[in-house]
Amino acid sequence: MQLGYVIKEGFSGFKRAKLSMFAAVFTICVSLLLLSFFAILFLNVNDLVKSLREKVEMEAFLNEQVSNEQVTEVKGQVEMLNGVREVRYVSKTEAAKIFNEEFGEDIYKVLNFNPLPASLKIFLKNGFKTAKHAEIISEQIKSIKGVDDVIYRKQLLEMLDQRAMLFLWITLGIGIFITVSSVILVANTIRLAIYAKRKIIQTMKLIGATRSFIRMPFLLEGFLQGLLGGAIAASIIFVLFRYLEQWLTVSLSEFVRVQPHYYGIIIGIGCFLGLLGSMISVRKFISEGVGS
């Protein structure tokens, strides 16, 4: 196989059939934009859910009669529970300081005494920050002698579990639909571009050219179309999100961002779409032949 011929024919489509080449590149670009927006939405919502889960912590309030030795024992029992990552003791004095920081009031000036109980702040491991696991751990902590009550953001976890799963399935379904539609659309568009060269394919088949020799220029052409479509889509997304960053607050911009390596993934998927579309189209042409 002559490499020079393959490269020359691979680039020739951009000159001979400009309209069909433009249609193929445009189709790949639009397909990638749709896929990218849903992927970015999914990844950023997933990061937001993880961030909310990270803020969920348990607090076990200790009985007033618990001694320092018993506090150490209770803390040790909680640390031994499956799913517990870290346990931190908060004394009555520390609780008063936290109250002062959060509400701007000195508890001693308000009530002349400190009614806040000592407690254990409990941080869960990743994978255990769900409503189901948190409920189990909460009940286990409540059963420990010296613990009066356990509180955590139960409703938030339940909401995250329900909505996150629903969002996952909806996004996955839409993503699969767009992917399949993109492959079919790109294949059909590239097929029109290849159709313009049907006489060349017929001639090559008549002189005994092998399938791979006929196929390679079109595969290179599809790869280049995908590369160009992916580069354009990545550029559009880059400019769009750079513009959005100027209008978003710092806290919100953390959840509306695109990682630098994602642009490379977009271009890579574009190349894959173009190559796959060419493979499907060329295979059909070579297998069935093309009429005059």
Closest listed residue to residue 9, CA positions, set 214, 261, 283, 281: 214
289: pLDDT strictly greater than 60: no
Q: What is the pTM of this model?
A: 0.65
Two tokens, residue 138: 């909460």
User: Of the spans 102-111, 177-186, 217-226, which averages the highest pLDDT?
Assistant: 217-226
Per-residue confidence at 292, pLDDT binned at 50, 70, 90?
very low
186: pLDDT strictly greater than 80: no
46: pLDDT strictly greater than 70: yes
Residue positions counted in the chain: 292
* For residues 220-242, average pLDDT: 88
Per-residue confidence at 57, pLDDT binned at 50, 70, 90?
confident
Closest listed residue to residue 42, CA positions, set 127, 166, 125: 166
Q: Of 32-46, 58-72, 200-214, 241-255, where does mean pLDDT reach its minimum?
A: 241-255
Backbone φ and ψ of 289, nearest 5°? 85, 165
Query: Is residue 171 within 8 Å of 38, Cβ to Cβ?
Result: yes
Closest listed residue to residue 292, CA positions, set 186, 206, 210, 188: 206
Burial 178-210 (b: 16+ CB within 10 A, else e): bbeebbebbbebbbebbeebeebbeebbeeeee
Tell me what percent of the residues of the chain surpass a pLDDT of 70. 79
How does pLDDT run across 128-168, given as a tens digit for each residue? 888 889 999 999 999 988 888 898 888 888 888 888 778 87
57-152: which CATH architecture?
A: 2-Layer Sandwich (3.30)
Q: Looking up tokens 């948190």, which residue turns up?
A: 134
- The neighbouring-strand residues paired with 124 are 84
Per-residue confidence at 177, pLDDT binned at 50, 70, 90?
confident
Q: Residues 265, 267, 271, CA angle at the centre, nearest 5°?
A: 115
251: pLDDT strictly greater than 60: no
Cα(114)–Cα(31) distance, integer angstroms: 63
How does pLDDT run across 99-122, given as a tens digit for each residue? 777 666 666 666 666 677 888 999
Is the model more confident about 22 or about 77? 77
Average pLDDT over the chain reads 79
pLDDT at 95: 79
Q: Of 23-32, 189-198, 255-264, where does mean pLDDT reach its minimum?
A: 189-198
Residues of the chain with CATH 3.30.70.3040: 57-152
Amino acid at the residue 260: P
